[in-house]
Structure 1
Amino acid sequence: MIKIAVAGIGGVGGYFGGRLARHYHTSDEVEVYFIARGENETAIRQHGLKVETPGSTFTAYPKLVTSNSSLIGEVDYLICSTKSYDLEQSITQLKPCIGKNTIILPLLNGIDSYERIKSIYPKNEVWEGCVYIVSRLTEPGLVTVTGENNALFFGSTNGTSARLDEALRIFTDAGINATLSQNIQQTIWEKYLFISTIATLTSYLDTSIGGILAKPENMELLYALLAEFKQVAKAKGIVFSENSLSAITDRMGKLPYETTSSMHTDYQKGKATEVDSLTGYIVKLGKQLNIPTPTYEKLYTELKNK
């Protein structure tokens, strides 16, 4: 039996974990476990996890939902979808799930999850991954997806090929739009280019993606952030295509006007945010690489003081 645990049943973990739990609910090959807390855990235990998408609605029932990872035991795959600021605490608490053969796949915002997990579990195989989806945990036990894009990319430069292929099959059989990337670093940086600039700007301006597109002065800020980001990435050996700017604005234009980033939503609710991972990390890298990032620095300073 292949055991999969999904830690963090929010917008990302809820959608992709929900797909897995729904498909493998009666499987004799794969068991899917949810690690959740508080009212979310209670709601899922009582009623399952409801996932609403533009095209369909389904309810998923994991093998077990719990906040106590020792009740699950060692798993084959641990999908980590917690907030980036919770990563170290969360991954340490998940130790009962992590055996020597457990593969850890982070699906977090940011670019440094691999290094942070490896520093705690140096002997485990840690993959890298990212997702494209607009989804929120709108109430305990309910994940709401807006927009049509819901893709998962994962890979590893030194991972076990048979396990990578196995994970791809498990994902795709569950109806997940999954891709095993042959250059996962490039894939993750391309996602980070989008989420870092958009999360920073929606939060700083307190506006939606449609609100950014609507005003020339907002677009000027966006282009300044993108230019600084690309210079930092170039110094790290990551080069983007010539049309990367138009690709981002095209993607923004296809989203509903009111769509915003999860970081902006957290600011609106007065919750902890991922500003250090999504904004501050580019400032930090810029300083390390001697690349000036004046726009990022200005917005990061103001966001930290919000």
Structure 2
Amino acid sequence: MRVAVVGLGGVGGYFGGYLARYGQEHREHEVCFLARGKHLQAIQEKGLLVKGQDQEFVAVPALATDKAEAIGPVDVVLFCTKGYDLEATAEQIRPIVQATTVVIPLLNGVDNAERLQAVLPEAQVVNGCCYIFSWIAGPGEIVQSGPHSRMVFGLNGEGADTGLKEKLQAFEALCKAASIRAKFTTAIEEAVWMKYLMICAMGGATAYYGEPVGEVRKGPEKRALLTGLLQEIAQLAQAKGIALAPDAADKTLALIDTLDPASTTSLQRDVAQGHRTEIGSFSGYVVRAAEALGLDVPAHRQVLERLGE
């Protein structure tokens, strides 16, 4: 199987590193990296150093480049850029995509597959998400912490295309062989929205107040905003026909209450550091989608008005 990992940040670097290491030992699988800048240069010179919770290793891909045409057509694209770079990057990877190519996004947000399919209509785009805490520690170096690093991808319904289902199951098997916790599911929209429920609400609240999780979940005003963000996402999911449990928002709030009080979110850190943010994929998306369906989402409008898009 030929796999291209597009975007070698914390997500792509971690999962891509495991896949590339496996490819070094099993030559029937070829894993290529599409990256850029000093990070790419370091990988080309000495490989990708992955420092995981349980092990540390250097992975050498079959090819690391910033030119998609050098990679050529692949079987699977693991798409791991930031949401605000999705369309531009999708245009750049046209040389590696053909009618039989499966594209799996592992980005924050719930509309990534739809956006990718619009740019790459010839590809077989499915949806996916991941659970991981990892980052670029320096050029050519990825660090991961915490015990729960996994990816989920798949289709909706058992009656989905058999050929595509078999391809995804084959990729799942490859990931597992490479020591990645991966799961193929036929209920991917529910999985993606459940993750979104937490990260969108928690990211919005922490970025709005500029405080860690422990602070935004206590005190009536802050907790009310957090609760409102959760409830509005759940209402939007229901309006869009996503089969979330009726108590999904309550259970997610209970889970947030168990997190380390010092925990921060990537959106909060990006806002604090003046970096470009993914607010457009978070409250920005909720507001736009809600307006299209005639829903009122005052908590998300409040966040968006302060943080901008």
Same fold (TM over 0.5): yes
Match of 1:8? 7
Shift of 1:249: 3.7
Match of 1:237? 241
Give the Cα separation in 2 of the matches to 1:257 and 1:146: 17
Give the Cα separation in 1 of the matches to 2:47 and 2:274: 28
Provide Cα deviations, 1:140-170, integer angstroms capped at 9, x if missing partner: 2222222221121100244412211111101
Match of 2:192? 188
Aligned residue pairs: how many?
304
Give the ranges of 4+ consecutive aligned residues of structure 1 lying more than 4 Å apart after TM superposition.
none
Match of 2:23? 24
Q: Which moved further from structure 2: 34-43 or 207-216?
A: 207-216
In the alignment, is residue 70 of structure 1 matched against residue 69 of structure 2? yes
1:44 touches 1:141 (CA, 8 Å); kept in 2? Answer: yes
Match of 1:54? 53
- Normalising by structure 1, report the TM-score: 0.94
2:231 to 222, 227, 231: 227
1:147 touches 1:255 (CA, 8 Å); kept in 2? Answer: no
Shift of 1:285: 1.1
2:216 to 175, 190, 212: 212
The one-letter amino acid of 1:201's match is A
Give the Cα separation in 1 of the matches to 2:101 and 2:41: 27
Shift of 1:214: 4.7
- Normalising by structure 2, report the TM-score: 0.93
The one-letter amino acid of 2:108's match is N
Percent identity of paired positions between Structure 1 and Structure 2: 35
1:108 touches 1:130 (CA, 8 Å); kept in 2? Answer: yes
1:230 touches 1:239 (CA, 8 Å); kept in 2? Answer: no
2:169 to 152, 158, 165: 165
Give the Cα separation in 2 of the matches to 1:75 and 1:211: 46
Q: Provide the secondary structure at the position in 2 that maps to 1:123.
A: coil
Match of 2:146? 147
2:231 touches 2:249 (CA, 8 Å); kept in 1? Answer: no
Q: Provide the secondary structure at the position in 1 that maps to 2:89.
A: helix
Give the Cα separation in 2 of the matches to 1:245 and 1:133: 21
1:5 touches 1:79 (CA, 8 Å); kept in 2? Answer: yes
Q: Provide the secondary structure at the position in 2 that maps to 1:17.
A: helix
- The answer for unaligned runs of 5 or more in structure 2 is none
Match of 2:290? 286
Q: Provide the secondary structure at the position in 1 that maps to 2:245.
A: coil
Shift of 1:32: 0.6
2:234 touches 2:249 (CA, 8 Å); kept in 1? Answer: no
Match of 1:119? 118
Give the Cα separation in 2 of the matches to 1:149 and 1:99: 33
1:225 touches 1:295 (CA, 8 Å); kept in 2? Answer: yes
Shift of 1:252: 3.1
In the alignment, is residue 260 of structure 1 matched against residue 264 of structure 2? yes
Match of 1:105? 104
Root mean square deviation, CA, Å: 1.7
Give the Cα separation in 1 of the matches to 2:306 and 2:54: 39
Q: Which moved further from structure 2: 7-16 or 95-104?
A: 95-104
